[in-house]
Structure 1
Amino acid sequence: MTVYSKAGFSFGRLLVAGLVAAAAVVSTVVAPAAVGLAGVRRAAVVAQRWDEARLRALFGSENRTIRTEQRVVALTFNAAWNDRGLDTVLSVLDRHKAPATFFLTGDFADRNPDAVRRIAAAGHGLGNHSYSHPNFVDLTAYERANEVLAANRAIRAASGAVPLPFFRFPYGETTPQHIAEVNELGFADIEFTTDTNGYLGAAGGMTADKAVQRALDGLRPGAILQMHIGVPNGRSPVLDAEVLPRIIEAFQSRGYRITDLRDLVSE
């Protein structure tokens, strides 16, 4: 984990413009007819550009839903433990032509660079979930900044892509002060409407049916669903990978479309 100095934290005030500029540097021209939809999505990950005004409109809030009345829902996955279930998840998303955003810890990216590259190659968004998944309440402001910036560096190094300017707090624990800090670093806080709790597994009392029902209980226009890649402490199976087809089909049968969180800030 790279440790950033206090001067680096102060420099974070400039990162909103910096993230936009960094995305522009690696931008490329894509011919949709030549590469197809999957190719366009892959290129979008590498050549992301943000609308700064739209990004700033997300600041100051937890953003637990998308501000819309349309029947859309966003799929998100956290990854901190291991990459178990990832191949299944990517296959299901591809089969349903569904976009997703993966919130990765920097530690996960450092340990699983191939997994990060597979996510990026599939054309999905890459968000920041801190470097080591600590509870931010236990850290100083400088330590919190280090967690965010080191994770961004690790995700970019592993993927070869520009990560989204989206941050999700470990454990979903936010405070207005901590949100303001990540906003100052150039990131919008993107939380979730509901979590399947699939990561708990059978040992935690979860079943496939319960995970699907939790997803449906939180369904509303602009809902953001949180799921997980991998399992902690060797738990099995990876319920979120197992139930993903059922969740997508249940959403679609209720008239919902899977939306891409990148649309919140795209130019």
Structure 2
Amino acid sequence: MKNVGRMERLLQRHRGGALILLCTLLAIAGGVRFGNATAQTSSRAGDRELPVYCVETDKKQVALSFDAAWGNEDTQQILDILANHNVHVTFFMTGGWVSAYPEDVKKIQAAGHDLGNHSENHKNMSQLSKEECISELMTVHNKVKELTGVEMTLFRPPYGDYDNEVILTAQECGYYPIQWSVDSLDWKDYGVQSILDTVLKHKNLEEGAIILCHNGAKYTAQALDELLTGLAEQGYEVVPISELIYKDNYHMDHTGRQISDVS
């Protein structure tokens, strides 16, 4: 742990080559490092490395997530509704959003929600070099750590764009790459009823589903109360992604479903 601490301090002082050095050393030190532990796992399905789209589970749980890349007008309303339902979720934040709304980041963390990494500049990660990918991950990582003390371990690629190198690089930097299986399409601004119908009638709404929303979308906050009520009426417990996914001893099927290897 002392060695990891030294590497993290090195990362805070330097960019570029030091970023790659840190992640490479973490990978060498114990296989691939996911989160805070060495994981005996595989994210490979065939010749592809996959993020977690959903989770195989017998528990009637789903995870709700919000991408935060623009605007904060509705963030407090979203937090209030989540609190009223006693629900915790995951917020994936860009570095720009963290810098623009640091008090909101603190409120999200204080309310018990997951803080997730959505890259520094919301670029298509598959079009970047490995060094650039690491910088996109670790720049916002360090911002959030300095602001809240939280070491983020969940990463959602902007636009859902990834390739094998993006997934492996994120893992080497201590992240579980996360996608989604139910897209609310709230970003299309079709209205409250559209969000409700899209999610609550979605073919992939089932145990272990991960639902995508955006805190800055026009109608999301307006739809949230009914959405949470509708999920509860269908018997689903909403949990943050950190509680839904397996941290180790798992593999992926070809659809990106995370499956536990522990019987």
Common fold by TM > 0.5: yes
Counterpart code for 1:52: A
- 2:157 corresponding residue in structure 1: 169
Q: Secondary structure at the match of 1:137?
A: helix
Q: 1:157 to 1:254 in 2, by over 3 A?
A: same
Q: Would the aligned equivalents of 2:89 and 2:113 in 1 still touch at CA under 8 Å?
A: yes
1:96-147 Cα offsets, whole Å, 9 max, x none, are 0001010001111011101111111111110100001001132111111100
- 2:206 corresponding residue in structure 1: 220
CA-CA distance at 1:3 after TM superposition: 7.1
Matches of 1:85 and 1:226, distance apart in 2: 16
Aligned-pair Cα RMSD in Å: 2.5
Runs of 4+ in 1 over 4 A off after TM superposition: 14-18
Q: Would the aligned equivalents of 2:116 and 2:156 in 1 still touch at CA under 8 Å?
A: yes
Matches of 1:96 and 1:244, distance apart in 2: 10
CA-CA distance at 1:177 after TM superposition: 2.1
Larger relative strand fraction: 2
Matches of 1:56 and 1:82, distance apart in 2: 39
Matches of 1:58 and 1:161, distance apart in 2: 29
Larger relative helix fraction: 1
Q: Would the aligned equivalents of 1:14 and 1:186 in 2 still touch at CA under 8 Å?
A: no
Moved more, 59-68 or 213-222: 59-68
Q: Would the aligned equivalents of 1:128 and 1:163 in 2 still touch at CA under 8 Å?
A: no
Q: Secondary structure at the match of 2:207?
A: coil
- 1:52 corresponding residue in structure 2: 37
Q: Secondary structure at the match of 2:70?
A: coil
Q: TM-score, normalised by structure 2?
A: 0.78
Counterpart code for 1:259: V
Q: TM-score, normalised by structure 1?
A: 0.77
Paired residues, what number?
224
Matches of 1:211 and 1:58, distance apart in 2: 34
- 2:232 corresponding residue in structure 1: 252
Q: 1:259 to 1:131 in 2, by over 3 A?
A: same
Counterpart code for 1:172: G
Q: Secondary structure at the match of 2:54?
A: coil
Counterpart code for 2:91: F
1:202-250 Cα offsets, whole Å, 9 max, x none, are xxxx12111111112131110000111124xxxxxx3111111111111
